[in-house]
Structure 1
């Protein structure tokens, strides 16, 4: 479907071009589309780690990096960094049953609950394990909040609510309002319960506070699960973890004499006390296949002209979910076109444009990361085993999920990073005749759901850049509608496919703005910084002596 370019949008580009000030003006929409056509094709089988789809994906990215003019920056002079992962996969059927008031109800995995395990062992075999309710499952000493206070959860299964206590509160409380904190992330809830010695966790799924439908939960747990290799995996991982449908949770609470909504409101109040869910218990049993696999990050380097030891990383994850459950049309391949072939296409095109231009002062490392969908594992592995020193990595600009729904007047970043890079992105966008919009959906917790977070935890200034929402043809309302439709019907589902009707003007403009931002940072002698109130500033400050102060 052909779409006309609005005069305003065209005029901005002509004005900038006449001024000779369009960095990345050679970013080509047809190149981006061709990379998307390949990476999101059925032939790549959904790009899951340790599948033929990974082999094709890694080979393609490596070939394109080489063709662009980068140097291999991986292990032993190659294009890849080996990422050793523990893989856990349910082997055969899952037997699950809920026991309440003398009655037993069989549960369908994938429909009523969705469970998994990463704990070492060949079988999960939990029989009539008591259920306890721990509110939002949060222990935050700095906020004076502890959902586990006085609650014994050892060898029990903990039922917790999704997000954090402020999400549905009328006024912002200790957790700062609807913007999700790290305490609202499902990963945190699992980790905290494991520290308490629980046998498992079931998170009550609700679409709005989770920010995705049940289909996303089901598809994300239908295939193998991965983790980096950990020395204390027995202690770090719960025997079983997963989600429970809201309707089933409501019925469970009712059966033990509780009102679910009232219990949720109670959990949002200071002084909440966790408690047993009557005599309710859960049995879960399934076999587990375990092994170690080696996946790969792909790394290409453009050495800097003057300060080659300093690095700016441009990153994006290449993985999707592979082959999952068929949708209504029978399609089971989760192609991951928007999420995240769009970013990989941009990395390849940015590599080409940068290599063809004047060499920047700092080195640029183009990093296509694995296993983001399994918990940012490729990024966490790189942060623990960096190919270039983190203390002299100036910034990480991570790219995610460009929109095929038309160009926008703005560009955005995920979450509130409390970092100078957000202001630098704003300045770069304004020089492109665009604007910067803060994340409009802070309650979704995207700051904690993208690869930049692994670098931030290590102290490196990092952001994830995504599309804006103010469509040139449709405005903010059009952008909101397009995004809502994507998350409801295609996100982590087989419908996330590339089509020749995609409007490539948006990804092209966004890639150009990223080029400008990366150019600015790579040319500068200044070091991006965390704001004073950032939780990551202390980690960065510890390596301050490794970075030269810029000339004033």
Structure 2
């Protein structure tokens, strides 16, 4: 089998998808409108927004004719949900934050120069008094790549200053494989490694290009309620102080230490980099409200008539950021219309389509997961506590932001993973005159930022589908312009709102492609796998006996 196959056939004269089922795009739009309305309060976990969203999903799944696909309750009956226990933390009031450098104390304002997350360590307050700062480059310890930014330094009690992304972002390709972000480049990894090293906290230096989003996204997302899965030892995964700072702040404090930020940034791209103490300290004082809550994954299912224990899964996350600080227009509600009410509306429409088309040989699962915006927590929990066996899960087709500017000649997936599931998607695309374009923004680390990733880590073939960028009207230039404007002005901001003026023809074509692949899997005997050199292949092969 070929992996990462590129379609080479000439593009069809039209991209019209002239096969059943017929998708009701007005219904899709209406579902997005309802889910992203202000009364859903941004769909944050453990809020009235979650209560309304879960009720909405169950109601729509029932109306579509789906069966309950969730956990079995105390009554012995299968329900519509799976409990997802989470730790929830909030900063109480405004945090007191001060950087001291150049002989002066510089007060920092939450959301302006700094964006601090509520501690997920279980403690009810964070107090740091003149904790020393240490620059550790990209904050990576990767022995398999011959890389260690810590070089044996004792970082206990220190605040680590780290760069976002990984050393190969600006090239040339080195130990991290080039521009495509590895997991070592993700902010989640930076926090995890700092905790493993025993640091007191982390300051991630924000830069728009390597982060793949602007400061507005950081400032609006991080000060809100934080969540994590419930861990036996939360301090093993989190430092008490987790934050981002503006690049200009970093430049100033490096200068006050007699250092050149750009020169050290360049030095950090070498495996010979040595940690550099900064002549600066950080003080912080704030209370944290922390509690254990239960969120919900919502599962609808259609039982296969011949192989009911084998599952094809469609996934999308139902949550968004909730309510935050007012933006420039005074708007506090992060409606999350594209991200990801659109994915949920697509999930529901696919469920209706499968039900209308009649039974499949294998079962089809429609899984709406919780707390994606808090770190892929609903899908992470499901991957560790599957309702349906992972060894017999044929594949996962994830949808995250399914409305674009119009029909496209191509399509993509997040990241550069190589797997047979992608080959099959390419084949289905070719049938309707659409070609596969590799992720145009691999440096953004999209593979690690959506709900297929936790499933991939446990071996299940999984992709996150993306609409194309080569638009029928306007080509690649128009597609890129729309994407860049969305990231700048709407992504994780209150302006991600429903519009009656959306062109939904592209979404309709995407639904057709996703349906075709899912139906092929559900009516076939294929067991897609990862490429032989994939880091996820071993986990999948280990479950091979379950599929015999």
- Is the 8 Å Cα contact of residues 397 and 452 (structure 2) preserved in structure 1? yes
Q: Does 1:222 align with 2:218?
A: no
For 2:33 and 2:105, how far apart are their aligned partners in 1?
A: 50
Q: Give, in whole Å, the separation in 2 of the partners of 1:496 and 1:120.
A: 32
1:531-542 alignment, distance < 5 Å: 531-542=531-542
| Residue deviations 1:272-301 (CA, integer Å, cap 9, x gap) | 111211x31101111000111111110001
- 1:404 alignment partner in structure 2: 404
Matched, 1:288 2:288: yes
**Unaligned stretches of 5+ in structure 1?**
1-7
**Which residue is 1:185 aligned to?**
186
**How far does residue 154 in structure 1 lie from its aligned partner after superposition?**
1.4
- 1:51 paired residue number: 47
2:339 — aligned with what?
A: 339
Which deviates the most, 241-250 or 92-101? 92-101
Aligned to 1:471: 471
Match of 1:165 in 2: 167
Kindly report which structure 2 residues correspond to 1:358-377, keeping only aligned pairs within 5 A, or say none.
358-377=358-377
Give the number of aligned pairs. Answer: 532
Moved >2 Å (runs of 4+): 8-13
* Alignment equivalent of 1:60, drawn from 56, 61, 67: 56
SS in structure 2 at match of 1:45: helix
Question: Which residue of structure 1 lines up, in the alignment, with residue 208 of structure 2?
Answer: 207
Instruction: Indicate the larger mover: 459-468 or 248-257.
Output: 459-468
Instruction: Write the mapping of 1:371-450 to structure 2, written as runs, cut at 5 A.
Output: 371-450=371-450
Q: Determine the structure 2 residue equivalent to 1:528.
A: 528
Say whether residues 1:146 and 2:144 are aligned partners: no
- Indicate if the aligned counterparts of 1:151 and 1:275 stay in contact, CA closer than 8 A: no
Corresponding position of 2:498: 498
SS at match of 2:43: coil
1:33 and 2:34 matched: no
C-alpha displacement at 1:9, in angstroms? 8.9
Normalised by the size of structure 1, how large is the TM-score? 0.95
For 1:120 and 1:333, locate their aligned partners in 2 and report how far apart those are by CA, in whole Å: 27
Q: Aligned-pair distance for 1:12?
A: 4.2
> 1:102 Cα shift?
3.0
Stretch deviating more after TM superposition (97-106 or 526-535): 97-106
SS at match of 2:131: strand
Cα displacement (A) at 1:501 = 0.4
Query: Over aligned residue pairs, what C-alpha RMSD do you find?
Result: 1.3
SS of the counterpart of 1:331?
coil
What pairs up with 1:5-154 in 2 under 5 angstroms? 11-13=14-16, 17=18, 22-23=19-20, 25-75=21-71, 76=73, 77-116=78-117, 117-154=119-156
Measure the CA separation in 2 of the matches of 1:414 and 1:271. 32
Note the residue ranges of structure 2 that are not aligned, 5 or more in a row.
1-10
Distance 1:488 1:427 in 2: 34
Structure 1 stretch displaced more, 358-367 or 487-496: 358-367
Rounded Cα–Cα distance in structure 2 between residues aligned with 1:433 and 1:382:
35
Say whether the 8 Å CA contact 2:404–2:467 is kept in structure 1.
no
Any idea what SS the aligned residue of 1:373 has?
A: coil
Alignment partners' CA distance in 1, 2:501 and 2:198: 52
Alpha-carbon separation, structure 1, partners of 2:208 and 2:202: 18
Q: 1:403 Cα deviation (Å)?
A: 2.8
Change in CA separation of 1:485 and 1:9 when aligned onto 2, cut-off 3 Å: farther
Deviation at 1:95, TM superposition (A): 0.5
Q: Per-residue CA shift, 1:190-219, capped at 9, x if unaligned?
A: 111110100001100000100011111111
3-state SS in 1 of match to 2:42: coil
| CA distance in 1: counterparts of 2:266 and 2:439, whole angstroms | 27
- 1:435: how far off? 1.4
